[in-house]
C-alpha cells in the first residue's frame, strides 16, 4: 500500500486525507494542533463538514488514517496549510514554506510533493522549488513537484473533492504526470494537466470571478437603494436573459477563498488589476452599509440588535474572514447591545456569548440576519412577536420566510421602503 502524508488537517486537508485513506492509501495526517490530532485518532473530527466524520471514523478504524504532529516518510506529500493575508493584504507564505522545509528531513528520491494550498502566481517557481533545489534533489527529476489547488464548496467537500475536475500543475511535465497518477486513484472528474503557473492563476481567477460578480450585485443594491428600486427583483428579471447570471448580494464576502484570493493577484500586478481591486473595495464596504441600514431601522444607537449567523456562509462552522464578525464589531463600536445566535459555531471559538434564539431576540429592536443557515429559514414568528421590543427583521441574505404582518421584514430588495415602515410603526 502506497503511503501519503497530508500536512495540515483543516477544512481541506482532513477531507483530502480521509478520501485518500478510503481509496487504498496508507495516510498519515500531520497538524500542529494537538487537540485536532487527538480527535482524529479517536475517529472524530474537529470541524463541521457534511459526511466527513463517517469517512474519518471508517479510515481510522481500518488503520488507514493516523494523525501526528510530526511528518514521516511517505511516497507523496500533500501540503494543505493556510495562506492568510497580512495587514498589507499580501500573502503570508510562512506556513507553506515551513511545511516544505519540514518535509526535507524525510523526503527521498522518487517522491512527489503537491501543494494544495492557494498561493500567489509564481510561488511554485520562485519560492517552493528553490527550497527543494537547495537540498540534494533535482526538482522534476529526483523528486516531483506540483500545484493542485482544491476547488470545493464547503458543505460538499467530500463529494466535490472526488467528482470535480482537478487542475494538475507540475513544475515540469514529469511532475504533472506524477501528480496526475496520484489523483487518478480517486478523482472521477477530469484531470486537467497544465503548468504550475497556470494552475496558480486558474485557482485565483475562479474565486476572483465570483468576487467581482458579487461586487456587481452589491453595488446594484446601493444604487437601487438610492433610486428606490427593488434590487432583488431586478436581478431576477435580468437573469431571465439567456446570457446573464447576476450573483446575489449579501453583507460582504468571507471565507478563506473569495475574500483572500483576489489579493494574491493584486499583490503581483497592482497596476493592472484595477477591476479586481475595485470589486474588493465594494465587497469590503458592505459591513459599513449594513450597519448604516440598521441605524436607520432602530430608535437609537443604544438599542439591542439580535444577530443571526456568524459564519461566512450557511450550514458550516467557518468564521474565517466572515463579514458577520466585522459587522458585530462595528455595531458594538457604535454602542449597540447585541444578542448573538449561531447554532453552528461553538462557544470556544468566540469571544462573544453565543445565545439561544429566544435569548438573543429578547427585547431586541431588530433581528439582523447575516448567514443563511437552514435553521433560520422558517423562524417561530410567535416567539419573535412575543419577545422582541419591536418585531423587525433586516435579512441581508434574503433567506427568511415571514408570513405575519405584525413583523416588519426588510431585505436588500425593499430597503428603499423601510423608512415608511418605521414611520407607520412609530
Catalytic positions are 203, 257
User: How do 166-170 and 366-369 pair as beta strands?
Assistant: unpaired
User: How do 408-411 and 392-395 pair as beta strands?
Assistant: parallel
Tell me which residue of 66, 49, 54, 59 sits closest to 22, measured CA to CA: 59
State whether residue 66 is helix, strand or coil: strand
Q: Label each residue of 101-142 as H, E or C.
A: HHHCCCCCCCCEEEECCCCCCCHHHHHHHHHHHCCCCCECCC
Cα distance between residue 154 and residue 12, in whole Å: 9
As beta bridge partners, residue 337 has: 304
In the DSSP assignment, the letter for residue 247 is: P
In the DSSP assignment, the letter for residue 349 is: G
Cα distance between residue 245 and residue 235, in whole Å: 8
State whether residue 394 is helix, strand or coil: strand
Report CA dihedral (60, 104, 150, 46) to the nearest 10 degrees.
Answer: 40
In order of 25, 161, 254, 326, 402, the CA distances from 221 in angstroms are: 49, 34, 18, 19, 21
CA triplet 8, 325, 208: central angle to 5 degrees? 65
Cα distance between residue 242 and residue 301, in whole Å: 45
Phi-psi region of 262 (alpha: psi -120 to 50; beta: other; left: phi over 0): alpha
Q: Which residues of 211-224 are buried (b: 16+ CB within 10 A; e: fewer)?
A: bbebbebbbbbbeb
**76 backbone dihedrals φ, ψ, rounded to 5°:** -145, 140
- Contact predicate 153/160, CB 8 Å: yes
Count CA atoms closer than 13 A to 26's CA, side-chain side. Answer: 7
**193 backbone dihedrals φ, ψ, rounded to 5°:** -80, 135
Phi-psi region of 255 (alpha: psi -120 to 50; beta: other; left: phi over 0): left
Which helix (H) or strand (E) segment holds residue 332: the answer is helix 323-334
Amino acid at each position: 500500500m502506497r503511503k501519503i502524508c497530508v500536512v495540515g488537517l483543516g477544512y481541506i486537508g482532513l477531507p483530502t486525507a480521509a478520501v485518500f485513506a478510503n481509496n487504498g492509501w496508507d495516510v498519515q495526517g500531520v497538524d500542529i494542533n494537538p487537540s485536532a490530532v487527538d480527535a482524529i485518532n479517536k475517529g472524530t473530527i474537529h470541524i463541521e463538514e457534511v459526511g466527513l466524520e463517517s469517512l474519518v471514523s471508517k479510515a481510522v478504524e481500518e488503520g488507514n488514517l493516523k494523525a501526528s504532529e510530526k511528518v514521516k516518510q511517505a511516497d507523496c506529500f500533500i501540503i494543505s496549510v493556510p495562506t492568510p493575508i497580512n495587514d498589507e493584504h499580501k500573502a503570508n507564505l510562512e506556513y507553506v514554506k515551513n511545511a516544505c522545509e519540514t518535509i526535507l528531513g524525510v523526503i527521498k528520491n522518487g517522491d512527489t510533493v503537491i501543494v494544495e494550498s492557494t498561493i500567489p502566481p509564481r510561488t511554485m517557481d520562485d519560492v517552493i522549488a528553490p527550497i527543494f533545489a537547495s537540498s540534494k534533489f533535482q526538482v522534476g527529476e529526483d523528486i516531483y513537484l506540483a500545484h493542485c489547488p482544491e476547488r470545493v464548496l464547503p458543505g460538499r467537500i467530500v463529494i466535490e473533492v472526488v467528482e470535480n475536475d482537478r487542475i494538475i500543475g507540475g513544475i515540469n511535465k514529469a511532475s504533472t504526470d506524477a501528480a496526475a497518477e496520484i489523483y487518478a486513484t480517486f478523482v472521477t472528474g477530469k484531470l486537467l494537466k497544465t503548468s504550475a503557473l497556470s494552475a496558480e492563476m486558474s485557482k485565483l481567477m475562479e474565486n476572483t470571478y465570483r468576487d467581482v460578480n458579487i461586487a456587481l450585485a452589491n453595488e446594484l443594491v446601493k444604487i437601487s437603494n438610492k433610486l428606490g428600486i427593488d434590487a432583488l427583483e431586478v436581478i431576477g428579471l435580468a437573469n431571465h436573459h439567456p446570457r446573464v447570471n447576476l450573483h446575489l448580494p449579501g453583507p460582504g464576502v468571507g471565507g478563506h477563498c473569495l475574500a483572500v484570493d483576489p489579493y494574491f493577484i493584486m499583490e503581483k500586478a497592482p497596476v493592472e488589476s484595477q477591476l479586481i481591486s475595485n470589486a474588493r473595495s465594494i465587497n469590503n464596504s458592505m459591513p459599513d452599509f449594513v450597519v448604516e441600514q440598521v441605524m436607520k431601522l432602530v430608535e437609537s444607537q443604544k438599542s439591542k440588535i439580535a444577530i443571526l449567523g456568524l459564519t461566512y456562509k450557511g450550514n458550516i462552522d467557518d468564521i474565517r474572514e466572515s463579514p458577520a464578525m466585522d459587522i458585530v464589531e462595528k455595531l458594538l463600536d457604535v454602542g449597540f447591545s447585541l444578542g448573538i445566535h449561531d447554532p453552528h459555531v461553538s462557544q470556544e471559538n468566540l469571544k462573544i456569548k453565543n445565545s439561544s434564539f429566544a435569548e438573543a431576540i429578547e427585547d431586541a429592536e431588530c433581528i439582523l440576519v447575516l448567514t443563511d443557515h437552514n435553521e433560520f429559514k422558517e423562524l417561530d414568528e410567535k416567539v419573535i412577536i412575543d419577545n422582541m421590543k419591536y418585531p423587525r427583521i433586516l435579512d441581508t441574505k434574503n433567506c427568511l420566510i415571514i408570513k405575519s404582518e405584525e413583523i416588519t421584514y426588510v431585505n436588500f430588495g425593499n430597503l428603499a421602503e423601510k423608512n415608511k415602515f418605521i414611520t407607520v410603526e412609530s
